[in-house]
Structure 1
Amino acid sequence: MPWRGPEEPGEMPTLGWLVLDWIIEYLAAPDRADYEPFIPTQEQAEFIVRYYELHPGTGKRRIRRGVLSRPRGWGKSPLLAAVACAEALGPVVPAGWDADGEPVGRPWSDVRTPLVQVAAVSEDQTQNTWAPLLEMLRVGPVIDEYPGLEPLDTFVNLPRGKIDQVTSSATSRKGNKGVFAVFDQTEEWTRSNGGVRLAQVMRSNAAKIGGTTLESPNAYIPGMGSVAEDTAAFAKAIADGRTREDGLLYDHREAPPETDPTDRESLVAGLRYAYGDSSDHEDGCVLHDPPCAPGWSPIDRLVGDFWDTSNDPQVMRSDFLNQITHATDSWISQPEWASVAAPETLVRSGEAVVLGFDGSRRRSRGVTDATALVGCRVSDGHLFLLGCWEQPDGPFGQDWEVPTVEVLAAVDDAFRDYKVVGMYADPARWEGHVASWEARYGRKLRVKSSGAHPIEWWMTGGRASLIVRALEKFHGAVVDSELTHDGSSVLTRHVLNARRRESRSGLQIAKEHPDSPRKIDAAVAAVLAWQCRVDALAKGLGKKQRGGRVVVLR
C-alpha cells in the first residue's frame, strides 16, 4: 500500500487505516473481468483517513457529515460503495485504544443491528452506488468471510442487519434509523422533488444513534436550493466561524477559475487538477510529490468533448471541471461574484458611505420578501451588508412579519456610525418610513435622488429605463472588478438568485418566479447603493484631486 504511512505527530487519531485495510482485504474492484481487490487511490485513501478521524480526548468519531465533490468519472461511486460496505460490516465504531495507544474499531453489529442506506431522489440515481456495491459483495472474499451475507438485487441481507436503497418519500423514513447513508448526486436534491426533506429526515435519524452520512455531489447550480448548495453554505458558515459545529468534512475540488476551455494547455491543466489521482495523463497526478501513476479518467477525450460544439459549455464546466457556475438565466455568475469578494476589507466608523434599501411587508401567500440594507464606501466602492431580514423556514416562519423596529434601528445606526452622504430606497410598501427618513436625514445628504424626494428611488413603475441603466452599471462594475463586497453569504445568495428578464427597455432582474422563496432583495439594495455611489462620484465626492488631495465629505 504505497499511500500508507505512520500518522504524523499532532495529527488526529483515525480509524481510517483500519477501514482501508478492511476494504482492501475483503472487497472486489467493480467492473473487472476477473477478481481484483479494490485498492483506493492515495487521494481516496486520504479522504477515508479524514472521514474516520476521532476526537483525541473522547475517542468518538469526529465527522458526522461528509461531502466528497468531484467531477463525473472521478470514481466517487465505487469509493462510496466501499465505504457503505465497511459501515455495514467493518471496524468503523470506536472501541478504545490498544496497548500502543492506537485506536481500535469494531463493527456496528457489536453495538446494534445496522441499517445502511443508499439514497437518491430516483431509482436510476441509486444505481450509481448500488451497482458497484453489489459487485464488491458478490465477487470479493467478503462473501465467504461473513456467513449469512446475501447481496440481492434490491437489498442486501447482512449476517445481522441490512443494506437498503431509499427512493421513497421522506415521511416514510422517519422510523428507519440508519447507521450510515450515502446521499447520491445531491446537486439534484431539491424541495420540489423531496430531496431536501429526505436529507433532513435521514440526517436526523443518523444523529439519534451516532450514525453518519456521506454526500457525493457534482458541482451544483447556485440558486436551485439543492442539498449540495445548502451543505456548501453550511461549510462556509463553519469556515467563517459563524457556527460552532465542526462535524462536517467538506471536500470539494474544482478546476481553477482562470481555466480557459478554448486553450488546450489551460484546459488540460484544469482537468488534471479537478481529476487528481484519477487523471490518465502520462505525467501522473498533480496532487502528490512524487506524482501518482496515471489513472483512468481520459483527459484527451474530455478535451475533445469540450471542443464539440454540440455540448453545452456550462454543463461541461460543471460536469468535468466541477466548477460551480450559474443557472442559464442568472444575472451574475458565481465566479464573477466570487472574483470581487474582499471579506478582509473593513469599513471603519466615520467613513463616507452611501446606503441602498429594499423593503417588504407580509404576504398573504407564499414567502414574504426580505428587507435589506446595504452600504457602499464612496472612496473605493466596497459593498457591505448592514442587515437582511428574511422569513425563517419551517414553523418559525409561520405568520412572520418584517421586524420594522429592528429595521428602523439599523438605518438609524448606519447614520450614526458612518458619514452617510446619500441613501436610495425603493419605497414600495415603506412609503411612510422613507418619508420619515427624508424628513430626518434629507437635509444632511450630499447626494439626493431628487429635490422633492432625496431618498425615494423607485425600482418599479414608469422608471424602466433608469432601472435598466442602474442594473447595467452594477453588472458592469462586477464584471470589470470596479467594486468589491464583504463576502456575506446572504448578499451572495441574493445576488446569485437574481434572474435576467427581458423588457422593452432592456434587461431587468427578478426572482425565478413570483412566489419563489429564493429572494433577491439584498441584490436590489446593493444596486441602489451602487447607483447612489455612482451619483456621488458624478458630484465629485470621494475623487482624488491634484496633489493627492481628497474632497472632504462634510
Structure 2
Amino acid sequence: MATAAEPASFVVDFATLGDLADAWITRHCRVPDGFARGRPMKLADWQFWWCANRYRIREDAVFVDPAVVADLLEQIALGDSDETITNDDVPLLNQAFQYRQTLVVAPQKTGKGPTSAAFVAFEACGPSVFAGWAQAGDVYVCSDHGCDCGWEYEYLPGEAKGMRHPSPLIQITATSEDQADNIYRPLRAMIKLGPLRHLLAVREGFIRILGLSDDDDLDRIDVVTASANSRLGNPISDAEQDEVGLYYRSNKMINVAETQRRGAAGMGGRTHATTNAWDPAMNSYAQQVYESGSDDIFVLYRNPDLEPSLCDADGRPISFKTKANRRRIFEWVYEGSWWVNLDSIEAEAAELMKKDPAQAERFFGNRLVQGTGSWLPLGLWAGAYAGKVTADA
C-alpha cells in the first residue's frame, strides 16, 4: 500500500496520465460554487498528487492498438482469418495502471467531492485510457475525440498518452442520494457551466455520455445507493465511492462496494473511494481497504497522529481539546486547501466538541477516533500503522 503525508513529498517522478488529466480538467471543468463559480478548475498540489497516482502507469505497460484488434475480430468473424485472440492481443485498461483502487482520507471541506466530480468527467469523456508512449510531436487534439472546444495537449517524448474510453459506464456511490450529491451536484454544475455541456447531458436520474451510442442504457453515469441499486452488478468502467467510512455490513454498503469492485474487474475498470476519518470500532469499508496492505491500492491520508510536529514531549499526539492544539492540527491537515477558512472550521469543531468530540476529531482533525465510550488511548490505533505504512515519494 502506498501513502503520502507531507506536501514536500509530492514528487511526481513516474509515468502518469496525471499531467494530461490535470490540463484536461482545467480546460473542461468549472468551479461549481463560490466567488470563483464558472471559472476553470485548477487542482491544488495535494489534489494533483492524488490525480498523478490515480493515473500512474506501470512502467512495463504495452499499448495494443484497438483498431488492429477490431480488424482482426472482423476477419475472424468473416472467416478470413484462422488466428485466435489472446489476452496479449487485448488493449490494456485497468492493467495499464499501477493501482486498481485509490482511497483518499481527508477532513471536511477540502474539496473531495468536486475533485471526484472532475475525475468522473475525465473518465466519461476525457483521455483516461492508456494509449501508448509519446514520441516527439505527438499531440492530443480534442476535436479528434468528439469535443469542439479547440483544446490541444502536446506530449513530452516518452510521456504516457491517453484516449477516450470506448464504452464508459460510471457509478457514483453513497449511502443515500443526499450523500451522493457530494459528487453528483458539482458534476451537474460543471456540465452546465462549461464545455462539458457538449459532452455530457443531465437527464432525469442519470447523466448521458454523448457521442458514443444512442442507447440510453449505454454510456452513462448513475447514482447507486443501498436502496437504489438496480444497476448494481453491471460491468462498470469506474466507480466513485463517497464517504466509505460509513459503509458497513449493517447498511449493506460493503456489499455494494465489493459488488462494484467485481463489476469493474470484469470490464477492466477501477474503483476509487473518498472519506472522512472513520470510527475504528465500526469496521467500515474504508478501514478494510486501509488495513488490506495491498500494494496495488494507493492511499492518500494525511494522518496527524503520525506527524512528529503534532506530538507532545512524550511522543504522544497532542490533545484536540484545546483551541491552540486544534489550530495546529487544522493547519497541517488542511494544508494546500487554500479555499478553507480555518476560523470557520474551528467554530464548527468547537460547537461539535460539546456534543460529540470524537466526531469532531474525525470530521475536522482527520483522526481515527472511536465514538463515545472509546477505551483506546489517543493515537494508539493510528500508531499501529506507523511501522508498516511507507511514503511513496
- Report the TM-score, using the length of structure 1 for normalisation: 0.52
Residue 202 (structure 2) aligns with: 151
CA contact (8 A) 1:85 1:133 kept: yes
The residue matched to 1:66 in structure 2 has which SS?
A: strand
Shift of 1:180: 0.6
Show the counterpart of 1:195: 253
Equivalenced residue count is 307
Tell me, what secondary structure is at the counterpart of 2:304?
Answer: coil
Residue in structure 2 matching 1:326, options 370, 377, 385: 370
Per-residue deviation, 1:306: 3.6
Given the alignment of the two structures, is residue 108 of structure 1 paired with residue 165 of structure 2, yes or no? yes
1:273 aligns with 2:273: no
On the 8 A contact 1:261/1:306 being kept in 2, the answer is no
- The offset of 1:12, in angstroms, is 1.9
Alpha carbons of 1:174 and 1:312: their partners in 2 closer, same or farther (altered >3 Å)? closer
Q: C-alpha displacement at 1:116, in angstroms?
A: 0.9
Gaps of 5+ in 1: 239-245, 279-294, 345-486, 488-554
| In 1, Cα distance between equivalents of 2:386 and 2:267 | 41
Structure 1 residues 48 and 343, CA gap change in structure 2 (3 angstroms): closer
Separation in 1, partners of 2:384, 2:180: 38
Alpha-carbon deviations, 1:287-318, whole Å to 9, x = none?
Answer: xxxxxxxx121212222334346342211101
CA shift at 1:154, angstroms? 2.2
- Contact (CA 8 Å) 1:65, 1:212: kept in 2 or not? yes
Taking the TM superposition and a 5 Å limit, the aligned residue runs for 1:320-399 are 320-333=364-377, 335-336=379-380
8 Å CA contact 2:104–2:300 kept in 1: the answer is yes
- The Cα offsets for residues 5-54 of structure 1, whole Å up to 9 and x where unpaired, read as xx86xx32001111111100011110146520111111111110111000
- 1:69 corresponds to which residue? 105
Aligned-partner Cα distance in 1 for 2:177–2:107: 21
Cα shift readout 1:95-132 (whole Å, capped 9, x = no counterpart) = 101212221100102xxx21111011211111111000
1:57 aligns with 2:60: yes
The CA deviation string for residues 458-504 of structure 1, in whole angstroms up to 9 with x for no partner, is xxxxxxxxxxxxxxxxxxxxxxxxxxxxx9xxxxxxxxxxxxxxxxx
Q: 1:300 to 1:180 in 2, by over 3 A?
A: same
- Give the aligned residue type for 1:102: E
Q: Is the 8 A contact 2:368 2:381 kept in 1?
A: no
Q: 1:334 to 1:206 in 2, by over 3 A?
A: farther
The alpha-carbon deviation at position 263 of structure 1 amounts to 3.6
Residue 212 of structure 1 is matched in structure 2 by 270
Do 1:28 and 1:139's aligned partners in 2 also have CA atoms closer than 8 Å? yes
Confirm or deny: 8 A CA contact 1:305 1:311 kept in the other structure: no
Give the Cα separation in 2 of the matches to 1:310 and 1:332: 20
Deviations 1:495-526 (A, max 9, x none): xxxxxxxxxxxxxxxxxxxxxxxxxxxxxxxx
The one-letter code sitting in structure 1 at the alignment partner of 2:29 is: L
User: 2-side partners of 1:340 and 1:76: how far apart?
Assistant: 26
Q: Give the Cα–Cα distance (whole angstroms) in 2 for the partners of residues 207 and 228 of structure 1.
A: 19
Equivalents in 1 of 2:34, 2:384: separation in Å? 47
Partner residue of 1:47 out of 37, 50, 58: 50
CA deviations on 1:335-360 (whole Å, 9 max, x unpaired) are: 2355588969xxxxxxxxxxxxxxxx
Structure 2 equivalent of residue 254 of structure 1: 303
Distance 1:151 1:343, change over 3 A: closer
Q: d(CA) in 2 for partners of 1:78 and 1:249?
A: 20
Structure 2 residue identity aligned to 1:323: R
C-alpha separation in 1, matches of 2:53 and 2:237: 18
Q: Distance in 2 between matches of 1:276 and 1:97?
A: 34
In structure 2, C-alpha distance between the alignment counterparts of 1:14 and 1:337, rounded to whole Å? 33
Instruction: Name the residue aligned to 2:344.
Output: 301
1:211 corresponds to which letter in structure 2?
A: G
Code of the residue aligned with 1:261 in structure 2: it is F
Once the two structures are superposed, residues 384-412 of structure 1 have per-residue CA deviations (whole angstroms, 9 ceiling, x without a partner) of xxxxxxxxxxxxxxxxxxxxxxxxxxxxx
Change (3 A) 1:54 1:343: closer
Which of 358, 364, 378 is residue 314 of structure 1 equivalent to?
358
Give yes or no for contact 1:170–1:194 (8 Å, CA) kept in 2. no
| Structure 1 CA distance for aligned equivalents of residues 238 and 172 of structure 2 | 9
Instruction: Return the structure number with greater relative CO, CA threshold 8 A, min gap 6.
Output: 2
Paired residue for 2:194? 140
Q: Distance in 2 between matches of 1:181 and 1:89?
A: 15
Which of 100, 103, 117 does residue 171 from structure 2 map onto?
117
Paired amino acid for 1:136: M
* Higher CA-based Rg: 1
Give the SS at the match of 1:21: helix
Match of 2:123 among 87, 90, 93: 87
- 1:173·1:201 contact (CA, 8 Å) conserved in 2? no
| AA aligned opposite 1:58 | A
Amino acid paired to 1:204: R
Q: Structure 1 counterpart of 2:323, which letter?
A: R
The answer on whether the counterparts of 1:326 and 1:334 sit within 8 Å (CA) in structure 2 is: no
Equivalent positions of 1:527-538 (< 5 A) are: none
TM-score, normalised with respect to structure 2: 0.72
Identity of paired residues, percent? 29
Q: Secondary structure at the match of 1:40?
A: coil
Equivalence for 2:91: none
Could you say which residue in structure 2 is the equivalent of 1:131?
A: 185
Shift of 1:326: 1.2
* Secondary structure of the corresponding residue to residue 379 of structure 2: helix
Instruction: Tell me the CA shift for residue 171 of structure 1.
Output: 7.6
